[in-house]
Amino acid sequence: MSRQPLVPPFAVITGAQVAEVLTGSEKQVVDLVEDVYKLHGRGDSVNPPSYFLRFPDRPTSRIIALPASVGGERPTDGLKWISSFPDNVAAGIPRASAVLILNDHTTGYPTACLESSIISASRTAASAALAADRLSRGRRARRVGFIGGGLIGRYIHRYLEATDWEFDALGVHDLSPDHARGFADYLESRPGDTPVTVHQSAEDLIRGSDLVVLATIAPSPYLHDPDWFGHNPLVLNVSLRDLAPEILLGSANILDDVEHCLKAETSPHLAEQLTGGRDFIDGTLCDVLEGRVRLPEDRPVVFSPFGLGVLDLALGRHILDELSDTGRLHTVDGFFHELDRYGRATADAEHQGTR
């Protein structure tokens, strides 16, 4: 008879533990993200469409489920459950919150619940830093501008900084002067004396930057003029909906996953609807990593990452393994209760209690 698989313990991993593992490991996280992109590009993953829970009484809010499975040396299955409630910002708390559930690859039992807003921000920033490096066409930009003064922009700067980028100038633009000033204050607090400019318009920031980071919550395009990008910058289209289709059609376009990006009214999706085809897409980041795509010098390059659940899973698994290997993992005794198919264990316990 085949041996019955054991039910794994269940762990709860706090945001403090997540931050403890990830802080100072930015280069390792970027390498991990690169490996997962290659696994995904080779078909060693399952990453179905995201599922959006929306609310008629709260139209700006949503909760998204991202189920996924990633292979490799440590195959992992699971689900990211992330909410976006923009009104939180006015109350002084972050817009997004999240948990990540990891499942045992053999039994399917959940093995861990991790606080995941930090994981989500870190994998987004690592993806952006990886793309910025590999799409730089042989020269890293030194004038970097951020549109959006929130947590994601801060994490992307942190990952650029940790992966040895050097800056001659940093720019910030945000519709909220307070958010722009707060992000600028953060940038000015970092080591070095890089000048930081708060730009009053998106046009000024874009024209003055060779690397543009779009990290907003814009629901639809507000950047329409291709001439602003006439100096052929690299654009990290992290928030996905800032750019009008006309800008994409004049650029080289690299996506993380074509099918995922061409939905939900993203800028690439709008470009597909406008043209009726996908000829404007040059390839995926995996294509670039594997040497299948060469980037032109005479056009802007736009990287549009939808954000793949497999990245969250791999990073969550890394955190789980690190805490387990160092004896810092907190498990919940007795989390799973009904573990006998025919109820014999429960019946025996109840019988003992009646004596």
> Looking at the chain, which residues constitute the CATH 3.40.50.720 domain(s)?
137-307
Smallest Cα–Cα separation from 141: which of 172, 175, 168, 104? 168
Specify whether domain 11-119+310-353 bears CATH 3.50.50.60: no
Phi-psi region of 276 (alpha: psi -120 to 50; beta: other; left: phi over 0): left
CATH topology for the 137-307 domain: Rossmann fold (3.40.50)
269-273 CB contacts, 8 Å cutoff, 24+ apart: 270/221, 270/244, 270/245, 271/245, 273/245
| Residues sharing a CB contact under 8 Å with residue 4, sequence separation 6 or more, in sequence order | none
The DSSP secondary structure of 114-160, one letter per residue, reads EE-HHHHHHHHHHHHHHHHHHTSTTS--SEEEEE--SHHHHHHHHHH
Per-residue pLDDT of the chain (355 residues; tens, 9 = 90+): 455 568 999 999 999 999 999 999 999 999 999 999 999 999 999 999 999 999 999 999 999 999 999 999 989 999 999 999 989 988 988 889 999 999 999 999 999 999 999 999 999 999 999 999 999 998 999 999 999 999 999 999 999 999 999 999 999 999 999 999 999 999 999 999 999 999 999 999 999 999 999 999 899 999 999 999 999 999 999 999 999 999 999 999 999 999 999 998 999 999 999 999 999 999 999 999 999 999 999 999 999 999 899 999 999 999 999 999 999 999 999 999 888 878 765 545 454 554 5
Which residue is associated with the tokens 């959940």?
A: 110
Strands 96-103 and 76-84, how do they pair? Answer: antiparallel
Please give the pLDDT value at position 1.
43
- Tell me the Cα Rg of the chain: 22
Q: Are 123 and 308 in contact (CB under 8 A)?
A: no
Predicted local distance difference test score (pLDDT) of residue 38: 97
Q: Please report the pLDDT score of residue 122 as a whole number.
A: 97
φ/ψ region of 28 (left if φ > 0, alpha if ψ in -120 to 50, else beta) reads alpha
Identify the pLDDT of residue 250: 98
Q: Where in the chain is the domain with CATH 3.30.1780.10?
A: 11-119+310-353
| Contact between 104 and 113 (Cβ < 8 Å) | no
The pLDDT value given to residue 341: 78
Longest dimension (CA), the chain: 84
**Size of the chain, expressed as the number of residues it contains:** 355
The DSSP string of 15-57 is HHHHHHHHTT-HHHHHHHHHHHHHHHHTT-EE-PPPEEEEETT
Packed helices 151-162 and 26-41: angle between N→C axes, nearest 10 degrees = 100
Tell me what pLDDT residue 94 has.
87
The two structure tokens encoding residue 63: 């909760």
Helical H segments across the chain, by residue range: 15-22, 26-41, 117-134, 151-162, 177-189, 202-207, 245-249, 258-261, 267-275, 285-289, 309-325, 344-353
101 Cα distance to chain centroid = 16
pLDDT at 43: 95
Say what the pLDDT of residue 22 is: 97
In degrees, rounded to 5, the angle at the alpha carbon of residue 343 between the alpha carbons of residues 338 and 346 is 70
**8 in helix, strand or coil?**
coil
The whole-angstrom separation of Cα 34 and Cα 42 is: 13
pTM of the model: 0.92
DSSP tag of 90: G
Asked if 159 contacts 236 with a C-beta cutoff of 8 angstroms, the reply is no
Distance CA 331, CA 67 (A): 23
Q: Which of 165, 208, 200 is nearest to 181 (CA)?
A: 200
